């Protein structure tokens, strides 16, 4: 109840529609029963996407969300965003085929330190995902917690990964996800300086003073049924 009041007030203050944004991490082939907020099996991921598809959701991109937030561009009535953190190779081999099956576009936040290493996304996979219409975005070089380590190297963590991902995809890379969802004002300032348009965090409140750089997401448990996914979405986001 407390959350509901807070988010109703927030929606009123921000003057735009809240869009549920889901955050996935590891996706595994096997359904080994060890699923949690960081792990989901291909089967359960497929079931969750099927639920969203059956219930009329449209997966929007960051460009669509920011056009709505900043200029009132209309969104589909049941909008959702489906994001993936940390560059796991299974994002390409397991998640993308499921997304494509339902005509959902995903948003992939890449940490470039593991590029081309075993078990992690390769440059050609990232390029192919981008060419297929999925969105490639940045998640630092090596997953440094920017809020916890304020002396981080801006060039290494924020500037160079953007340039590298732009070279790989041949498109602009304008969005960022804070490792661990943790952010502070200095990190936001550095992102703006490096020409990012916006950034995604996790569960702390979106800031009315800087909403573009504090967009909220929820981590999805691999254990959730479709009904539990719906309940989590409804609890976290005030929807039209």
To Zn ion, the closest distance from the beta carbon of 115 in angstroms equals 15
In a 13 Å sphere around the CA of 227, the CA atoms on its Cβ side amount to: 0
Residue 75 or 165 with smaller CB distance to Zn ion: 165
CA distance 201 to 208: 14
Residue 35 or 86 with smaller CB distance to Zn ion: 86
CA distance 103 to 109: 19
Examine residue 91 and tell whether it contacts Zn ion (CB under 5 A). no
For Zn ion, the binding residues in 158-187 under the rule CB under 5 A are: 179
Question: CA nearest 49: which of 24, 17, 85?
Answer: 24
- Phi and psi (nearest 5°) for 23? -125, 120
To Zn ion, the closest distance from the beta carbon of 83 in angstroms equals 11
To Zn ion, the closest distance from the beta carbon of 219 in angstroms equals 10
For Zn ion, the binding residues in 58-87 under the rule CB under 5 A are: 85-86
Placement of tokens 């009315």 in the chain:
208
List interacting residues with Zn ion (CB under 5 A): 85-86, 179
């Amino acid at each position: 109840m407390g959350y509901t009041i807070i988010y109703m007030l927030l929606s009123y203050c921000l003057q735009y529609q809240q869009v549920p944004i889901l955050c996935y991490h590891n996706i595994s082939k096997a359904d080994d029963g060890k699923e949690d907020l960081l792990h989901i099996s291909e089967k359960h991921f497929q079931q969750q996407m099927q639920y969203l598809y059956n219930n009329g959701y449209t997966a929007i991109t960051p460009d669509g969300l920011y056009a709505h937030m900043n200029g009132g561009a209309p969104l589909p009535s049941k909008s959702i965003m489906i994001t993936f953190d940390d560059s796991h190779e299974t994002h390409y081999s397991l998640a993308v085929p499921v997304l494509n099956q339902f005509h959902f576009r995903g948003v992939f936040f890449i940490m470039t330190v593991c590029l081309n290493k075993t078990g992690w996304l390769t440059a050609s996979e990232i390029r192919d995902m981008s060419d297929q219409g999925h969105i490639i975005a940045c998640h630092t070089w090596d997953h440094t917690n920017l809020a916890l380590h304020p002396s981080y190297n801006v060039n290494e963590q924020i500037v160079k990964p953007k340039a590298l991902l732009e070279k790989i995809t041949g498109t602009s890379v304008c969005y960022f996800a804070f490792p661990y969802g943790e952010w502070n004002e200095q990190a936001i300032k550095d992102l703006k300086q490096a020409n990012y348009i916006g950034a995604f965090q996790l569960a702390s409140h979106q800031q009315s003073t800087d909403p573009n750089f504090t967009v909220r997401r929820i981590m999805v448990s691999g254990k959730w049924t479709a009904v539990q996914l719906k309940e989590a979405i409804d609890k976290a986001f005030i929807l039209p």
